[in-house]
Amino acid sequence: MKTFIKTALLLLVLSAFLIACNKDSEEENTIKIVNSEIYDLMKEVYLWNDELPEVNPRSYSSPEALMDALRYVAFDKWSAVITKTEYTQYFENGEMIGHGFMLGLDGDGNIRIGFLYRGTQAYNLGIRRGWIIKKVNGTTATTDNVLDLLGPSETGRNNTISFLNASGEAMDLSLTKEVINLTPVLYSRIINQDVTKIGYMVFQDYIDAANEELDTLFTSFAAAGIDEMIVDLRYNGGGSVEVAENLAGWLIGKNNGDQPFVNFRHNTKYTKWDTTLNVPAYASGLSVNRIFFITTGSTASASELTINGVKPYLSETGIAGTTTHGKPVGMYAFPFNNYNYVVLPVAFKYTNADDEGDFYDGLPPTLQAVDDLTHDFGNADEESLKALLDYIRDGSVPLKSAKSIGSQSRIVEPQHAINEYLKAY
């Protein structure tokens, strides 16, 4: 009887071992297949396909590791491989999991709320941009530990966070991570400065969910007869070109509809994909001669495409803040049919109607100003907004700020490419 039991146990152990080995072997084989197909795809559509190194794609432990080896280091910081789940959640469903806020670091080293999405638990509890995080679950928060303290992006994760609010009052609030429906227009208002009506919008996400918000907001701006427009893109890492087209239509499409907006250029194998997108003609759009933008080093991709694309049609495109990220290229999404991966290779560069592009060093500001995390959006004393309001009023240019917040308003670097978009925790 004992021999039977021992034999049965041995068979169970061997069975479990074989199942694990088979599972490992299956996963390894999947990675080899995926890696081979990624390499073949990159040799075809990658903008710098003539710079690809010769590698054995099947020798890499993951698609991410392979992509790290394939990027053209002279220019490419963006080509990525992500899961279909991540891609669908953000770009198609306009969702994320978390508390719904981004963290920034001020000149004194305080961890502050950089922005938060409307309608979240945090927003409804009154938390706003500029609030300071002191502790998470009783542990003092630092730039090194705060994301670990907040924990993974899982629904139901509860954190007790000690804040200092805008008045310097200490507040302990219990927050639970949730599925968040993104609200791409973080803030908007019409600023009345003397007799001038200034439309002001903080725009965060070039995703499909943005179009309805943009349509509603700009319909109201146009109906109000605004004289000037400020588009705040300070944390906007880009996204859908179609959303950029829609925004351009509202900004300049009334007077410049059907004119070239952006030219896409591909590698020599795929010149057949080269195309020009025109500005949508919006009869009910704005009628302004100049547009102003607020930017930081986190302003990238479709945000830069928008700024660059409207520039040829305006008497002035003023930029307040700091130099943008510098991404004059774009990616296509190639999902695998049978595997949970989406490949996002840089596949094209873009220029505007005047053939201006290649700004890998970013778009420089015309009015230097810091990202003033001590003030909420729309506050006339917030340094970047104040620089533009002063310039609109009397043409004054700000002196170099005595503050030292700088252009890097994020306190953590993304773990992988999708976090260039999902920056709210």
**Residue 69 and residue 79: Cα distance in Å, rounded?**
11
If asked whether residues 247 and 387 sit together in one domain, one would say yes
Cα–Cα separations (whole angstroms), residue 203 to 138, 147, 237, 239, 256:
34, 24, 10, 12, 22
Residue 264 has pLDDT above 70, yes or no: yes
Same domain? 165 vs 267: no
Q: How far apart are CA 357 and CA 326, in angstroms?
A: 10
Q: Give residue 409's pLDDT.
A: 41
DSSP 273: G
The strand pair at 260-265 and 158-164 is best described as unpaired
Is 132 in the same domain as 189?
no
Taking alpha carbons only, the member of 116, 113, 155, 118 closest to residue 132 is 113
| Tally of domains in the chain | 3
Please give the pLDDT value at position 93.
Answer: 78
Tell me if residue 186 falls in helix, strand or coil: strand
- Assign 7 a pLDDT band (cuts: 50, 70, 90): very low
276-298 tens-digit pLDDT = 999 999 999 999 999 999 999 99
Does 336 fall in a domain?
yes
Amino acid 94: pLDDT: 77
Query: Is-contact 336 342, C-beta < 8 A?
Result: yes
Segment 95-100 shows an average pLDDT of: 90
What pLDDT does 92 receive? Answer: 77
Please say if the pLDDT value at position 417 is more than 60. Answer: no
Instruction: Report the distance separating Cα 225 and Cα 286, nearest Å.
Output: 8
For tokens 């695998």, what's the residue? 336
**120 and 15 fall within a common domain:** no
Is 60 exceeded by the pLDDT of residue 150?
Answer: yes
User: Does residue 383 lie in a domain region?
Assistant: yes
The span from the CA of 118 to the CA of 122, in Å, is 9
Give the DSSP letter of residue 239.
B
pLDDT single digits (tens) 184-193: 999 999 999 9
Which of these, 159, 138, 139, lies nearest to 150 by C-alpha position?
159
For the record, the structure tokens of 353 come out as: 């109607």
Co-location of 14 and 43 in the same domain: yes
Give the amino acid at 74: A
The residue out of 134, 151, 181 marking a domain boundary is 181
Same domain, 174 and 107: yes
Please report, rounded to a whole number, the percentage of residues in the chain having pLDDT higher than 90: 77
In whole angstroms, what is the distance from residue 165 CA to residue 34 CA? 49
Q: What pLDDT sits at residue 355?
A: 97
Can you tell me the distance from the alpha carbon of 215 to that of 284, in angstroms, rounded to the nearest whole number?
Answer: 10
Confidence category of residue 15, pLDDT binned at 50, 70, 90: low
Q: Is pLDDT of 22 > 60?
A: no
Q: Sorting pLDDT into bands at 50, 70 and 90, what band is 87?
A: confident
Whether residue 250 is found in the same domain as residue 193: yes
Give the range of the structural domain holding residue 122, as residue numbers without chain letter. 95-181
Provide the mean pLDDT of the chain: 89
Single out the residue of 181, 172, 184, 183 nearest to residue 137, CA to CA.
Answer: 172
pLDDT of the residue at 224: 97
Helix axes 2-45, 63-70, angle to 10 degrees: 30
Q: In this model, does residue 11 exceed pLDDT 60?
A: no
For residue 282, give the CATH number of its domain: 3.90.226.10
Q: Is there a contact between 350 and 305 (Cβ–Cβ < 8 Å)?
A: yes
Could you tell me if residue 272 is inside a domain?
yes
Residue 396 — pLDDT band, cuts 50, 70, 90? Answer: confident
Quick one: average pLDDT of 203-229? 96
With cut-offs at 50, 70 and 90, classify the pLDDT of residue 170. Answer: very high
Of the chain, the end-to-end C-alpha distance in Å amounts to 58
Span 128-149, pLDDT tens digits: 999 999 999 999 999 889 999 9
| Residue 64 shares a structural domain with residue 105 | no
What value does the mean pLDDT take over residues 324-348? 93
